[in-house]
Chains A and B, each alone.
Chain A
């Protein structure tokens, strides 16, 4: 069993419902965001602000944060979820520097780093992660990488850094575009 987020960018409407559902469940500080929704640049999707990458933590196969953290505050569960231990964190932010995907976030008020833990507390209780439950269109789901097979799934969509050694677990379905009429360029 290896949990991973699956983001269907064809269904994602960039509403930030996933991000806000997370803030809601964990009562995050106003400026703190564990899940970011990045609009795709026009060079990638030709309509500005109409396709998105919703990313929290990629719970990578070889997580950089686990090796970077001097206090061993990151552990990877058998199901792939990378969990951050707030108690032992000393806020050195080496993980923030090292994670290519910007998953760990530093809180100046707490003096510690925080990050998405795939709602492991909810998964262990048989519930979906907050962001997955919060996704209004069903674009964001979780899959078991060990047995999930579907056509058109990619690991590295455009707009997302390729890090083969780290191997992020998140998977994507790419967005589509409509045929347009009446548009003067």
Chain B
């Protein structure tokens, strides 16, 4: 079982960064004069997180020094768009820190959203029947919103916003419901469902997200712990997403119904 750590780090970190950008941008536009506006340094963090994610993705490549070539197939490959979108996003995030314009922030957020969208497409291949649908898209978006909202509380002490809470709740629901649905699907789907539900990492991750969700009602201290719980939860469930999703090629010769 290959855990695909580069992809786990890449997706989790870029989703965190996009979430941060979306909320930072939203704050810049909705309430630009509020005195608890997040500092522009937050954009440096956003860019930094995204950059680390991108570097992690390089570790996945056989030829990391030729990663720039991944931009070639914009005509057909969603992965090409993903690479383009997140490269631009990272650059933009750093740029917003230096220039600090609302327009640039909006652009960064939009590009980040495009990135999330391409991720949802790329990691839903037809070879993995369980996730060859909107599941990855939904999970990635919910993760981005939840992580983004949670990260905001690290920057300033405000109550949790509704979007973040909803996203966390929905994320747990989706993560728990999907494997159960897979159990009544095709052979490969069933195997995927069983692997997920038997995985200790998956349950730990789900519990950590749940804890983070519950903790949003408790204001006193431990905000780093709350964020860490959510982050680790997303990270662990992402690990099973990449390692425990069964590929049709591993079932050749076996019944597929």
Contact = CB atoms under 8 A, between A and B. Distances in A.
Chains A and B touch (C-beta atoms under 8 A apart) = yes
Contact of B69 (A44, A71, A161): A71
B252 A91 contact: no
A122 interface: no
Contact of A101 (B78, B83, B248, B255): B248
Nearest to A112: B62
B253 A68 contact: no
Given A70-B77, A98-B127, A100-B248, A93 B60 contact: yes
Interface residues of A, number: 46
A43 B251 CA distance: 13
A157 B25 CA distance: 53
Contact of A92 (B70, B76, B128): B70
A36 B249 CA distance: 11
Interface in A75-133: 88-94, 97-102, 106-108, 110-113
B126 interface: yes
Contacts, number: 128
A90 B60 CA distance: 10
B240 to A, nearest CB: 16
22 contacts: A36-B252, A43-B254, A52-B253, A64-B127, A68-B77, A69-B73, A69-B79, A70-B79, A70-B82, A71-B70, A71-B80, A72-B73, A72-B75, A89-B63, A90-B64, A90-B70, A94-B79, A99-B249, A100-B249, A102-B252, A110-B62, A159-B253
Interface in B69-100: 69-73, 75-80, 82-83
Interface of B: 60-64, 66-67, 69-73, 75-80, 82-83, 122, 125-128, 188, 247-256
Contacts of B248: 100-102, 161
Interface of A: 36, 38-41, 43-44, 52-53, 55, 64, 66-72, 88-94, 97-102, 106-108, 110-113, 158-163, 165-166
Query: Quick one: which of A38, A55, A94, A102 has the most chain B CB within 10 A?
Result: A94
A92 B79 contact: yes
A108 B60 CA distance: 11
A131 to B, nearest CB: 17
Contacts of A94: 77, 79, 122
A29 B188 CA distance: 30
Given A101-B127, A159-B252, A165-B126, 19 more contacts: A44-B253, A52-B253, A67-B76, A69-B73, A69-B79, A70-B73, A70-B79, A88-B69, A94-B77, A94-B122, A97-B128, A98-B127, A100-B125, A100-B248, A102-B127, A102-B247, A102-B249, A111-B61, A161-B248
